[in-house]
Amino acid sequence: MTETEQAILQQLQAAIGGLELDSNHPLRQDINQLISVPETPAFRIAVFGPFNYGKSTLLNAILGQRTLPIDLIPTTGAAIVVRYGTELQTRIKLTNGRTLIEPGTEILKQFAILDDERRMREDVAAVEVWCPNSWLQTGVELLDLPGTNDREAQDALVRDSLLTADLVIQVLDGRKLMTLGEREHLRDWLQDRGIETVVFVVNFLNLLEPDQQQQVSQRMRFVAESFRSQLPLGVSNLYRVDALPALRARLKGNMADAQASGLPIFETALQTIVEAYQTQGWQPKARCLSAIAVNVCAALESKIEQLTQEIEGQAQRQNEQQLDLKRRAQTLLQKGYQDSVSDLRNWLAFPNLLQTYETSLTESLRTFDFMFWEAKQLRPDWDARRIAVIHWVHKTCDFFGLPQPVELWLTFPPEPVIEIPETPPTVTGADAQLDSAAPIAIATGLGLVIGGPVGAAVLGGASYLLNQFASPQENVPAPPEPIQVESIDRNAAFTYLEQWSQLALMSLDDYEATVKAVIYCPLSAHHSHQTTSQHHQLRFLRLTLMTLVDMLSISTSTGSRLPTSNDAG
């Protein structure tokens, strides 16, 4: 195996980990099998097919002796490797670490055949046979596989073992040529895994009538053309070998009968293939590696697409959940804001203000305590409702990450100025002195002031200061009646509250227009960039896929292979 192929194999191992395939997945098993195949210069030929197709008989015919157990009842229950040895002997490796070595192959009947329930022995790890055959001495080893289409464990062993072969011989039964199961194996076990060095051998044609043989021969050509084997030029991928007559002829040394069985032509083809491998550096296993790598790339692409959809779907669900949360939050925030604004508007309505504050404001004007009244009653009530409105705006800004708008502020109107009309004076001769008297006036918080030398009169406090120079007998302006003063104060309170209502409502209107974009902001889900284990896996799979594709591109551009019959076609 080249350095590039080793690097590809390592990358395939990483890909299998990223794909999280289970231990029984065919791709994982294929890669594990490729890793476990020991490097050997021998050219391995594997023979497979269903039970009773004559596989072991064919191999015995090639070896020229009864090396492998054959019977009318299906027997082979292990993968038996046959190599060159100076003496015929068998080595059995058990799963407990023991190794049994005996001359001949009689021990195979104990460890390499199926039990009474047609099951393989579970304690056998490997079966090897050494055989003094001249063709094996050239660097060839044969692999006799259990029959297929019987039990899952046997099929799994055959499927794995095919990856270890440089050439595969698929034995067909001429009486039922290419069954559905055989076609599935051809596709799933061979073609899809890049095993294209395949030769088909049709057995049992000698048991058919001549006209039937002609029909089968036509079907054989169709089988050969449907599978484009990668073989050296001049080598066909389909042969007729009557296995049992061939073995009998070999055992008897009857060359004519052997020739009639089709065995010599087939053996010549095998020798040509082996020679091409040995002399021209043919590496059929590299095709398997490339094909499996391509399958892994396809699995990576599928997994990447699946993960991408899962991540996008998860992000969409998160966005929908986030948007739903925002909608519900916005609904609550809007209700809180609207309720607080409604409460403030209701409070600012002039009739309500008049009902709530007219009496206390009038009293504060009468006692010159307007500033105190404003600080203790009007401002606290205003601030409480104003802050309630601002509270919901701030909560909305905080929740949606929006900038804070200007606050809701109001410049209070100035203190009410109360003017008391003059009472027309009765003049009896002191006109000169009274002419200089200033109009009588009262200012909230300052009291009632009568200007000039007359002095001041404080209304509502039961005192009235007269001009110190006036005589008691002279007529002076009469002080306003208490009822008149109360009416003036009440009118001043009415006017103040009316002005206050108008100013505050205008300020609230401006504020509502300012914060409308905040309270009724359009909602959108914030796309999450959260990194999860799926994101890490997705990045790993993409990197692995890119690396594998690059490696396969390099391997294809630098690789070499033998010219084949397909090239000639």
Please state the φ and ψ torsions of residue 556, each to the nearest 5 degrees: -70, -40
Contacts of 112 (CB under 8 A, 6+ apart): 69, 76, 77, 78, 80, 92, 124, 127
> Cα-Cα-Cα-Cα dihedral of 263, 269, 275, 278, to 10°?
-100
**Tokens standing for residue 213:** 């043989």
Asked if 205 and 220 touch (Cβ cutoff 8 Å), the reply is no
pLDDT tens, N- to C-terminus, the chain (569 residues): 678 888 888 889 888 888 888 888 888 888 888 888 777 778 999 999 988 899 999 999 999 998 888 764 556 778 999 999 999 999 999 999 999 999 999 998 888 887 767 777 888 989 999 999 999 999 999 999 988 877 888 888 899 999 989 999 999 999 988 888 888 888 899 988 889 899 999 999 999 998 898 888 888 888 888 887 888 888 999 999 999 999 999 999 999 999 999 999 999 999 999 998 888 776 777 778 888 889 999 999 999 999 999 888 888 888 888 899 999 999 999 999 999 999 999 999 999 999 999 999 999 999 999 999 999 999 999 999 999 999 999 999 999 999 999 999 888 999 998 776 665 555 554 444 444 433 333 333 333 333 333 333 333 333 333 333 344 444 555 555 666 778 888 999 999 999 999 999 999 999 999 999 999 999 887 665 556 788 888 999 999 999 989 888 876 655 545 445 555 44
The H-or-E segment that residue 269 falls in is: helix 263-280
Strands (E), 36-135: 43-48, 80-84, 89-94, 99-103, 124-131
Residues 6+ apart with CB under 8 A from 230: 196, 197, 284, 287, 561, 564, 566
165 closest CA partner among 48, 253, 56:
48
- CA distances 493 to 273, 348, 364, 374, 498, Å, are 119, 15, 9, 12, 8
The superfamily (CATH) of domain 42-282 is P-loop containing nucleotide triphosphate hydrolases (3.40.50.300)
Helices first, then strands: H and E counts in the chain = 18, 11
Q: CA 231 to CA 270: how far, in whole Å? A: 10
Amino acid at 561: R
pTM, entire model: 0.64
Residue type (1 letter), 280: Q
pLDDT at residue number 460: 36
- Residue 274: phi and psi, rounded to 5, are -65, -40
Q: Rounded to an integer, what distance in angstroms lies between the CA atom of residue 286 and that of residue 396? A: 66
Domain ranges of the chain: 42-282, 431-479
Residue/partner pairs of 421-427 with CB below 8 Å, 24 or more apart: 421/480, 422/477, 423/477, 423/478, 423/479, 423/480, 424/477, 425/475, 425/476, 425/477, 425/478, 426/475, 427/475
